Amino acid sequence: MPIRVWDYLPEYAAEREDLLDAVDTVFSSGQLVLGESVAGFEREFAAYHGVPHCVGVDNGTNAIKLALQALGVGPGDEVITVSNTAAPTVVAIDATGAVPVFVDVNEDDFLMDTSLVEAAITPRTKALLPVHLYGQCVRMEPLRQLADAHGLAILEDCAQAHGARQNGRLAGTWGQAAAFSFYPTKVLGAYGDGGGVITPDEEVSERLRRLRFYGMAQQYYTLETPAHNSRLDEVQAEILRRKLRRLDGYVAGRRALARRYEEGLGDTALRLPATVPGNEHVYYVYVVRHPRRDDILEALKAHDIALNISYPWPVHTMSGFAHLGHGPGDLPVTEKLAGEIFSLPMYPSLSHERQDLVIEAVRDVLAKL
Ligand X SMILES: *Cc1c(COP(=O)(O)O)cnc(C)c1O
Binding residues for ligand X (CB under 6 A): 59-61, 85-86, 88-89, 131, 157, 159-160, 181, 183, 193, 195
Q: Which is nearer to ligand X, 67 or 288 (CB)?
A: 67
Provide the minimum distance between the beta carbon of 84 and ligand X in the complex, in angstroms, as a whole number.
10
Q: Which is nearer to ligand X, 232 or 365 (CB)?
A: 232
What is the chain's alpha carbon radius of gyration, rounded to the nearest angstrom? 21
Q: What is the number of other CB atoms lying within 10 angstroms of the CB of residue 59? A: 22
Q: Which is nearer to ligand X, 92 or 99 (CB)?
A: 92
CA distance 243 to 349: 13
CA distance 348 to 354: 12
What residues are paired with 221 via a beta bridge? 218
The single-letter DSSP state of residue 225 is: S
Provide the minimum distance between the beta carbon of 195 and ligand X in the complex, in angstroms, as a whole number.
5
CA dihedral (222, 228, 232, 234) positive or negative: positive
Please check whether residue 326 is in contact with residue 265, taking contact to mean a CB–CB distance below 8 angstroms.
no
Provide the minimum distance between the beta carbon of 185 and ligand X in the complex, in angstroms, as a whole number.
8
Provide the minimum distance between the beta carbon of 366 and ligand X in the complex, in angstroms, as a whole number.
28
Provide the minimum distance between the beta carbon of 60 and ligand X in the complex, in angstroms, as a whole number.
2
Q: Which is nearer to ligand X, 88 or 348 (CB)?
A: 88
Residue nearest to ligand X (CB): 60
Q: Which is nearer to ligand X, 230 or 317 (CB)?
A: 230
Provide the minimum distance between the beta carbon of 132 and ligand X in the complex, in angstroms, as a whole number.
8
Q: Which is nearer to ligand X, 56 or 88 (CB)?
A: 88
Q: Which of 228, 193, 181 is closest to 208 using CA atoms? A: 228
Q: What is the number of other CB atoms lying within 10 angstroms of the CB of residue 287? A: 22
Query: Percent helix, strand, coil in the chain (nearest 5)?
Result: 40, 20, 40
Which amino acid is residue 160, in one-letter code? Answer: Q
Provide the minimum distance between the beta carbon of 87 and ligand X in the complex, in angstroms, as a whole number.
8
Q: Which is nearer to ligand X, 183 or 213 (CB)?
A: 183
247-278 core/surface letters (b: 16 or more CB in 10 A; e: else): beebbebbbebbebbeebbeebebbbbbeeee
Q: Which is nearer to ligand X, 86 or 265 (CB)?
A: 86
Coil vs helix vs strand at 216:
strand
Provide the minimum distance between the beta carbon of 268 and ligand X in the complex, in angstroms, as a whole number.
27
Query: Using a CB cutoff of 8 Å and minimum separation of 24, what contacts does 112-119 make?
Result: 112/81, 112/82, 112/138, 113/333, 114/138, 114/139, 114/142, 114/143, 114/146, 115/142, 117/80, 117/142, 117/143, 117/146, 118/146
